[in-house]
Amino acid sequence: MAEATTKRLRLLSASGAGTPILVLMILAMMTLPLPPIMLDVFFTFNITLALVVLLATVYTLRPLEFAAFPTVLLVATLLRLALNVASTRVVLLNGHTGPGAAGSVIESFGAVVVGGNYAVGLVVFAILVIINFVVVTKGAGRISEVSARFTLDAMPGKQMAIDADLNAGLLTQEEARERRTEVSSEADFYGAMDGASKFVRGDAVAGLLILLINILGGVAVGMGQHGLDFGTAMQFYALLTIGDGLVAQIPSLLLSTGAAIMVTRQNSSNDMGTQVVGELFTKPKALWITSSILFVMGIIPGMPHFAFLLLAGITAAIAYRVQQRQEKVQQEQEQEEQQEKLVPQKEPELKELSWDDVPPVDPVGLEVGYRLIPLVDQAQDGKLMARVKGVRKKLSQELGFLVSPVHIRDNLDLSPNAYRITLMGVAVGEAEVMPEREMAINPGQVFGEIQGIKTKDPAFGLEAVWIEPNQKEQAQSMGYTVVDASTVVATHLSQLVQTHANELLGHEEVEHLLNKLAKSAPKLVENLVPDTLPLGVVVKVLQNLLLEQVPIRDMRTIAETLAEYGTRSQDPVVLTAAVRVALSRLIIQNINGLEPELPVITLDPNLEQILQQSLQSSADESVNIEPGLAEKLQQSLKQASEQQEAAGKAAILLTSPGLRSSLAHFARFGIPGLHVLSYQEIPDNKQVRVVATVGQ
């Protein structure tokens, strides 16, 4: 029988019919008369449901693990109100027969809980309503409202933090999608809890009004229709009404408490009981002081000595046990440290020097001060190592070749909070971070200022503030992008490696790329190197592409273009220009996405002619610009570039093929955000729109 019932419930749940049936049952209780035995069953079920929901909130680790709580709260509230309607009907129809007219549950609560005294019952019921309405429900509603507002305000900052982690290679696309879904679900949950708290609040008010209406209606029915005197009518109907109110009010109080627990919970790896005990009883000093105060109060004449002294002894015993456990753990740690010190250290054997004693230069290095060592120590929960691996993986996928491993070591010559990034043994970046704080970066538009230590993001130079970890939610709600110290270092490393990617690509890496290509196109590689071009020329062309932020993932197209043009010229500049034309769709997509229109900046024809003449008269085929003209050109290009960036568009300078390489070199150092393209690099499906002309 039990198995059959379980199977039916599973079928109802699987078919989605459980909730509609429950709603129909609630409507039936409101409209159809129920016998007292059914009222007993439903009231008992109501109390059971409230207990199950309360315990589920206690043992939930994260609020989102019980995301259906607002819906459960609504259904439980409707069920309780439907029971109130059904019990009111029975009480008013049969209340003149005695206290057992509405079933055993209501009779028991009216007779046992309040001792059969309706005056006491009214007082108890009023106190329960005050506790539920004024304390629990009001507090939970306020917390729900504030949580919903701050969660919604913090959504843009959380989304930007996820995008920053994704761009830094710390998250995969799937992980980022899951985190975005979690952020959206969290906002939906707290928004629903804000609305659900209004149901609980209204339920508490409805319980009080139903009690008053039932007492007045019951006395009127008893005296007017059944000829009872006032005292008897009051005795019968008041006890039944109070019993009915208590049966409904106790589950209401349980659910209100569950709602309050849910909105006050924080994400934790422990349930509420373990978390409270773990945080409350870990300070023996506080327990000793409490025990002393209780002891002093217990020995004062006139005080209840037994209760105070008993609790003083229990508190002292708990304090002693906690202190003994902590001292034992500390002694074990000290013994382990002493044993490590007592292990005899072998003296290093002297040996002759060899080439192995000459340390090789690390392609990519990261040196940290001694206070940043915990960031790279996995034993101390350091996250920097994992994030550096994520950066390396992401850059390798984007650039098209395997980025060299990052060698991390401590450097006592640095200041404690400083780090230094080196390429080929030469420092290319250095900054300081605060591992105990988090960096709130101003992405360009924030709503107010936050207290902290002002600084600048080392990767992009944005205004930032070092804040305490407990200010993170506030900063995100104001529009700041908040990252920890490990992410700051990883982002800086990613930006520098991407900028200097051409320096990390050498003959060894190109050999690996060609060998990989040879597996799918062996004849192409065989005809390219060394028949058409030496390996050194191919390396130089790939380095030129990386220098201009063009990824080399499409090695097949690059190799085919070099094989075609390598028979005409072996000049790396000419070959680079040819490869750029072949990769034009990739270049334009990286700059302007899939937009059909391409806004560009052009040079005045007279200025372009002057530059062409300078290029033709130059011995090394580079543009030699007169200093005054160069300064004016740089200022004009910089101004036009800033206008495009302010409009949210990419800054693109469109020029002739002969000038492109020289102008790209000219803009690389003075105008970093400017992309220089030639007319040949514009795909046929792109519509060019001139937004500015420089030199007029």
Note the pLDDT tens digit of each residue in 289-314: 878 887 887 788 777 777 778 888 88
Starting at the edge strand found earlier in the chain, the sheet holding 651-655 runs 674-678, 651-655, 597-603, 687-694
Average pLDDT of the segment spanning 193-199:
71
Query: Has residue 515 been placed in a domain?
Result: yes
Note the pLDDT tens digit of each residue in 565-616: 999 999 999 999 999 999 999 999 988 888 889 999 999 888 888 888 877 6
Q: Are residues 364 and 441 in the same domain?
A: yes
Helix (H) or strand (E) holding 571: none
Query: Has residue 72 been placed in a domain?
Result: yes
Note the pLDDT tens digit of each residue in 141-180: 676 676 667 666 667 777 777 777 776 667 777 887 888 8
Burial of 438 (0-12, 13-18, 19+ CB in 10 A): buried
> Which one has a higher pLDDT value, 695 or 469?
469
Query: Has residue 527 been placed in a domain?
Result: yes
For residues 535 and 523, give the distance between their C-alpha atoms in angstroms, rounded to a whole number.
16
Residue 125 banded pLDDT, cuts 50, 70, 90: confident
| Closest of 276, 265, 254 to residue 137, by C-alpha | 254
Residue 345, pLDDT above cutoff 60: no
Please report the pLDDT score of residue 65 as a whole number: 76
Q: Are residues 47 and 61 in the same domain?
A: yes
| Closest of 408, 362, 416 to residue 388, by C-alpha | 408
Please report the pLDDT score of residue 12 as a whole number: 47
Q: How many C-beta atoms lie closer than 10 Å to residue 621's C-beta?
A: 13
Please report the pLDDT score of residue 609 as a whole number: 86
Q: Write out the two tokens for 266.
A: 């924080």
For residues 513 and 510, give the distance between their C-alpha atoms in angstroms, rounded to a whole number.
5
For residues 597 and 687, give the distance between their C-alpha atoms in angstroms, rounded to a whole number.
5
Residue 490, pLDDT above cutoff 50: yes
Q: Are residues 538 and 677 in the same domain?
A: no
Task: Give the chain's domain count.
Answer: 5
Please report the pLDDT score of residue 255 as a whole number: 79
Query: Has residue 194 been placed in a domain?
Result: no
Please report the pLDDT score of residue 519 as a whole number: 92
Average pLDDT of the segment spanning 667-676:
83
Q: Are residues 665 and 599 in the same domain?
A: yes
Query: Has residue 185 been placed in a domain?
Result: no
The answer to whether 376 and 385 are in contact (CB under 8 A) is: yes
Burial of 133 (0-12, 13-18, 19+ CB in 10 A): buried
Query: Has residue 151 been placed in a domain?
Result: no
Query: Has residue 188 been placed in a domain?
Result: no
Q: Write out the two tokens for 658.
A: 């002969």
Which of 582, 615, 633 terminates a domain? The answer is: 582
Contacts of 255 (CB under 8 A, 6+ apart): 50, 53, 54, 73, 76, 77, 200
Q: Are residues 255 and 365 in the same domain?
A: no
Report CA Rg, the chain. 38
Tell me the DSSP string of 286-339.
HHHHHHHHHHHHHTSTTS-HHHHHHHHHHHHHHHHHHHHHHHHHHHHHHHHHHH
Residue 32, pLDDT above cutoff 50: yes
Domain range enclosing 652 = 593-696
Note the pLDDT tens digit of each residue in 227-271: 677 777 776 777 777 777 777 777 877 877 877 777 776 555 455
Q: Is the pTM of this model over 0.85?
A: no
> Which one has a higher pLDDT value, 2 or 62?
62
The answer to whether 411 and 421 are in contact (CB under 8 A) is: no
For residues 511 and 518, give the distance between their C-alpha atoms in angstroms, rounded to a whole number.
10
Q: Are residues 39 and 123 in the same domain?
A: yes
Please report the pLDDT score of residue 1 as a whole number: 40
Q: Are residues 308 and 369 in the same domain?
A: no
At 519, is the secondary structure helix, strand, or coil?
Answer: coil
Q: Are residues 220 and 235 in the same domain?
A: yes
Q: Residue 410: give its domain's CATH number.
A: 3.40.30.60
Q: Are residues 665 and 691 in the same domain?
A: yes
Q: Are residues 89 and 39 in the same domain?
A: yes
Q: One-letter amino acid identity for 11? A: L
Helix (H) or strand (E) holding 35: none
The answer to whether 81 and 206 are in contact (CB under 8 A) is: yes
Average pLDDT of the segment spanning 543-572:
93
For residues 676 and 600, give the distance between their C-alpha atoms in angstroms, rounded to a whole number.
10
Residue 19, pLDDT above cutoff 70: no
Note the pLDDT tens digit of each residue in 407-461: 998 888 899 999 999 998 899 999 999 999 999 999 878 888 899 999 999 988 8
Give the chain's end-to-end CA distance (angstroms, integer): 93
Contacts of 653 (CB under 8 A, 6+ apart): 600, 601, 602, 603, 637, 663, 667, 674, 675, 676, 677, 694
Q: Are residues 600 and 457 in the same domain?
A: no
Q: Are residues 215 and 301 in the same domain?
A: no
Query: Has residue 148 been placed in a domain?
Result: no
For residues 466 and 471, give the distance between their C-alpha atoms in angstroms, rounded to a whole number.
10
